[in-house]
Each structure stands twice: as C-alpha cells, then as structure tokens.
Structure 1
C-alpha cells in the first residue's frame, strides 16, 4: 500500500524549498522503498531552486545525496532485502548501455532522465503525488530530502550494516565527485602542485583526493576566510582568496610554469572562472571543470594560443568519473582505514523543515557540507 511521507519540494523556479506531505507509491519491479537516514545538501539542488538547472516538472522534490534502510522491495527484484543499508548514487548505472560497457558508468544512458522527475523507462510515470493526484518530480529519480523514497535499484548501492549511515550518505555525490575530480579527471601525481578553486562540499574532497594522490602542494582558493581552517583539515597546504594569488604562488614554485592541475569546484560556475583556471596551469597541465552554474550558458574567455601551443587540457568531470558500484564501497573502506575524512565534512546538521535555511547558510559560506539528519 502507498504510504504518506514528508518531503521538501520547490513549487517553481526561482523558488524556495518547503516541506509538504505526499503519497509515495510502493516499489515496482527493480525498485525499493528506503527510509532515509541522512541527506547531504548539495549545491546542485540549490541550482534547481534558482533555475540554473531547469527541471521538467513542478513540484519537484529535492535531494540526491543520501543513505538509508530498505523498508520494501518490489516484486521480482532479486539481490535486495528489507533491512539492507544503502547509499544512493545520484547517477544510476544500468550496466548494459554502451557507456557502462566502456567503463564509464557515470555517463550511463539512464542519466538522460535525471531532471525529468519521472522513471527513466517512462517519462509519464511518477512515484510521488500530492493529495489531488498532482505528480511530484524526484530529483535524479531518488529525492533524498524525504523521510521515505522509492527509487530504482540502478540508483542504490548496498553497504555494510556496521558503517554509520550519516557518514555514508556523503558518498552519494560530494566525496566521489571531488575526490575523483583530482585523482581521475585531474590525474594528479606524486609531487604535483594542485589548485582547487572553491572550497565547499566538492572542493574539500578535491583537496582530499589531491593529497591522497601525493601532491606536495595543494592550494585552496576561496574568498571566505573561515574556510582556511577547514581546507587545512582536508589536505590544503596553502590558502588564497583569489585565483590570481594562487597562480602566482604556484608559478613561484615551478620555475614560472604554474600548477600541474587546477580543479574548478566553484558553486556557481561562470566562463571567467575557466579562463582564470587555464591561465594558472603549466604547459601540458590540466583544468578540471566540476562546478555548475547556468547549464544553458555558453562561452569562456580562454587564451586560444595557450590552449594549442602550450598543449593545455580542459576536462569536464561528472561525478569525478566515478563508477558508483566500485567506488562507493572502495571509498568507504578508505574511511574505515582512516584514509578518508567523512565526519569532518559535515559542518551543520538540519531538520527536514530547515532546507531553505541550510541553503541560506551555504550561500553565506557557513558550511562545507550541511546535512539533513532524520530521527
């Protein structure tokens, strides 16, 4: 039988999150219902509220980074049981499409449905509804700003029940995205000099990834002074308030060449940021663009001669090029071994009714990662 649950939605864009009660459908084949334990508050959900990331339907229930416990399993859905602990992957992976077969499951064809709010196999099929029957879209098909949610098994990863669900929730987006932006997309090597532009939930994990990969100089860039202390916790060796200062320092260490990699994890990306990042790297260096802004925006002022003659590399990065079924368990093992900080990422905890407040705090620079913790 369908259940009643509270969830945080935006009714329009621009708009603010508010808590409403919805009817949640039972899981169908290859779906599960999950009681959410914790949900990270990622900037991407704020992009939905501001309109930087357009979605197909309103109301739209936010949240795409979370963990919880399975309370119901759809018919003919082997491999999942009531009581299993899971982490959501905001990018589903079918395991069958061309990109999954290429080992690029972060680019799975199911990703085309992420902003429709509906099921990937049927754009008219929804699992959340208001009392009058109005469908409620689910962010990335999961909507973790909710007490309960129903999602495809392509979006859930089972984890050890001994692991803390609060920490594990961050593996749904922030940690693999930031860590992989450095380790995979940036190909950071031992001894490298790395710049990370923007120290929020993604940038902090890019710092961790760069340090883990062996970079000897990890330069954090953010105008918020409070983030200096936080950046140091996650591996930053130096901190500057502007990219120009960071680039000058990198050049002072590298015979005038610049950083080996600059990772752009700014919360609201603009074309100028990409041009600044490209100017900060050495010949044959790499700029990794991970942040999002208005996804319909076009253009970045880059020096074309430098791009060609200095053989610089400009690389986009989605989910840090992660394979969720491989990388989420792997990163959790690193956490258990003390090699990866998760608990320290959460700077403030919120209730479900405080989502709008949490995003006000994020804009004010008061958080690395805010988190909704459910009772």
Structure 2
C-alpha cells in the first residue's frame, strides 16, 4: 500500500531544520504484514529527543530510514500466527522489542534483550524483514522496529501492547517512551517509595514523567533541576518540592547544602555529560546515581573510583525505565486513570507532516515538552 511518511536521508544536517529539511515527507510503499507481524494505523507519534539525536547523528543509523519510536495506533491487519490481536484493537508501541526466550527475557529484563539492538543496527523489524521501500523499489530502513513517522506501520507482535479503547490515543502514545523511560526510572530502577527523596536532572518529556512518577510514589522530597527556568516553574506546579537552576558552578554546591550533603537517589534524564557530572556531584554517600538519558554513543564520563568504593555509591543505567511492557504499561495506565500520571499536561501541540522539521527545531531549543504528530490528520 502507498502511504505518506517522513524519510530521513542524511544525518547531521545543520540547523535550522526548517531550512535544511532533514525529514523528507513523501509517498512510500509499505508491504503487508508477514507471519508474526501486524499493520497498525498510526494515530499519534511523539517528537522525542531520541529521534532528534538520530537527526543530529549522535547515534548513526542505516539510511534512508523512517524514524519515530513513541506512539500508539489501531490494528488494521494481523499476520499469520497472531491470535491475540484483531483489527480494531488499540495498541501502544514498544521501542525495545524482545524475543521472549533469551536469558534476559526469562529473567524479567526484556528491555535489554539483544534482539532489539541487532534489528536496530540492521534497520529491520525483529522478524528480520523490511516492509518499507521507496516508489522505485529501494528499501527503506526501520527505526527501533517501528518507524512511526508514517501513516501506517508494520510491526512485530512483541513491539506493541494492547490497551483499552477508552484511553485517548495521543495520550497513550506518550507511554510508549517518555512515561516508561521516565516514570519507570523512578518506580522500577530507583524503586522510590513513600517518604524517600529523589533528585531529577533534566525536565524534558522523560524528566517530567520521572517527576510524575516520584509524586505518584509518595516521595517526601522531590528536587527538580534544569537549565530552563520555565520548566522549573512547571515542575513546582506539578509536585517538585525544591528546584535548582543548572548551568553554573554553584548548582551542585547549592543542592548539597540544601540536602545535608547530597541526595540519596539521583535520576539523570537529560542525556548529556554535564548533567551526568552534576548527578554524580549531588549524590549522597551511600546513594545511587541513575542515568536514563542517552548521550552521544562515544561520550564518556569519569568519576573518582576511590570515592565510589569508600562512600559505597552506586551508578546504574536505566533503559526504557527497566520496564516489562506487558506488566508495566497496565500499571502505568492505571495511575494515569487516577490522575497520578497527567501526561496530557505535557502536550505542547499537535502537528502535521508539514510541521515536522520545524517541530524538531523547537525540540532542540528546549521550547517544548511533547509535540504529537498526527500522521493521518
């Protein structure tokens, strides 16, 4: 079938993207789903920093490619072997597909299953296929087994989770990345419980969901840190007890002074080395530093190893919020229904294909939280 999609042909083009147009909106061919695959109509897809980093060439990908990894949609066709989904079902997509059989999956850690990395590197679906191509027959690569900046997408069965139809799909889409990554980092990786304290560095879509997660968990003290004063004001309105403006040498000292030497659990969501350095600097003795932000693949950070040992500190990564999507998405959606994860507040605007390049300019400027692409209008 012919569909409209935003195709990335070249990474690393300079800004403004409104002029250089890295995303080319055009008609492409989408083959029908094969065994273990399904066709979904994309209802909404978020513009996320991970997609921006692909445009920036922070993480090289095979080209050409249709990116977009955070979304929700409606099942329109199911391939051979799929019996638990049917046309008309609503689903949230999962950007880290898993095999269900490896040692990571059977231990309840499907988010780090090697299947996703292998498929991502090859630009394939987890089934080992490519379903996108240009009108001249040239193959187009998939992104994270999804490629949601398109009107329709063919995805593997394990790349989506069925949800109830009463949940607005443009709210549901945010759960596909920002909620699982942010709230999951707080609830799963950090394991924040009522009465504890946590600092969150970086208040984009992921960071704000980490804030929501901390509020939902009943954290006694929630410290929000960002370089953008406007986002700090939002964080105060949404549950932060303390806010600090980053970007100056005094920030770390101010946080340590205000917290009697540091914070027990610090969650970094900005995906930058300065943010991670700040996270390490404000972590208390015996505390835990958790990074949920993805920087450039070649970025490195250093720490004093003797202090790590003598102060019994921990440093952990958190990928997709340490989530098991089939387990955690229903739980997170339950919090949403009770008003504990108000993701609708994060939606800055709805955009069309014609606005997608300008949308990534706004995201790069830090001027927005979540813009939602509606590929079908």
Q: 1:144-189 CA distances to partner (integer Å, 9 max, x unpaired)?
A: 1111111101101111111111110111110010011112222223
Structure 1 residues 161-310: aligned runs within 5 Å:
161-242=165-246, 245-254=250-259, 256-267=260-271, 269-270=272-273, 272-297=274-299, 299-310=300-311
Q: 1:213-232 CA distances to partner (integer Å, 9 max, x unpaired)?
A: 22222111111122123223
Instruction: State how far apart, in whole Å, the 2-side matches of 1:210 and 1:251 are.
Output: 20
Q: Which residue of 1 aligns with 2:19?
A: none
Q: Which residue of 1 aligns with 2:123?
A: 117
TM-fit CA distance, 1:277: 1.3
Structure 1 residues 152-167: aligned runs within 5 Å:
152-167=156-171
Q: Which residue of 2 aligns with 1:13?
A: 11
So what's the TM-score if we normalise by structure 1? 0.93
Instruction: State how far apart, in whole Å, the 1-side matches of 2:276 and 2:232 are.
Output: 23
CA, structure 1 residues 309+91, in 2 after alignment: closer, same or farther (shift >3 Å)? same
Q: Which residue of 1 aligns with 2:349?
A: 348
The answer on whether the counterparts of 2:227 and 2:246 sit within 8 Å (CA) in structure 1 is: yes
Instruction: State how far apart, in whole Å, the 2-side matches of 1:189 and 1:245 are.
Output: 29
Instruction: State how far apart, in whole Å, the 2-side matches of 1:87 and 1:176 are.
Output: 11
Q: Which moved more, 1:6-15 or 1:152-161?
A: 6-15
TM-fit CA distance, 1:105: 1.2
Q: 1:43-85 CA distances to partner (integer Å, 9 max, x unpaired)?
A: 1111111111111x21110100101111111123211111111
Instruction: Structure 2: give runs of 5+ residues left out of the alignment.
Output: 14-21
Instruction: State how far apart, in whole Å, the 2-side matches of 1:233 and 1:96 are.
Output: 44
Instruction: State how far apart, in whole Å, the 2-side matches of 1:17 and 1:186 are.
Output: 36
Structure 1 residues 351-370: aligned runs within 5 Å:
351-370=352-371
| Count of paired positions | 366
Q: CA RMSD in A?
A: 1.6
The answer on whether the counterparts of 2:209 and 2:341 sit within 8 Å (CA) in structure 1 is: no
Instruction: State how far apart, in whole Å, the 1-side matches of 2:282 and 2:322 are.
Output: 23
SS at match of 1:230: helix
Instruction: State how far apart, in whole Å, the 1-side matches of 2:241 and 2:26 are.
Output: 44
Instruction: State how far apart, in whole Å, the 2-side matches of 1:294 and 1:252 are.
Output: 32
Q: Which moved more, 1:216-225 or 1:316-325?
A: 216-225
Instruction: State how far apart, in whole Å, the 2-side matches of 1:311 and 1:274 are.
Output: 18
SS at match of 1:158: strand
So what's the TM-score if we normalise by structure 2? 0.93
Displacement over 4 Å in runs of 4+: 243-246
The answer on whether the counterparts of 1:85 and 1:158 sit within 8 Å (CA) in structure 2 is: yes
Q: Which moved more, 1:227-236 or 1:258-267?
A: 227-236
Instruction: State how far apart, in whole Å, the 1-side matches of 2:282 and 2:185 are.
Output: 17
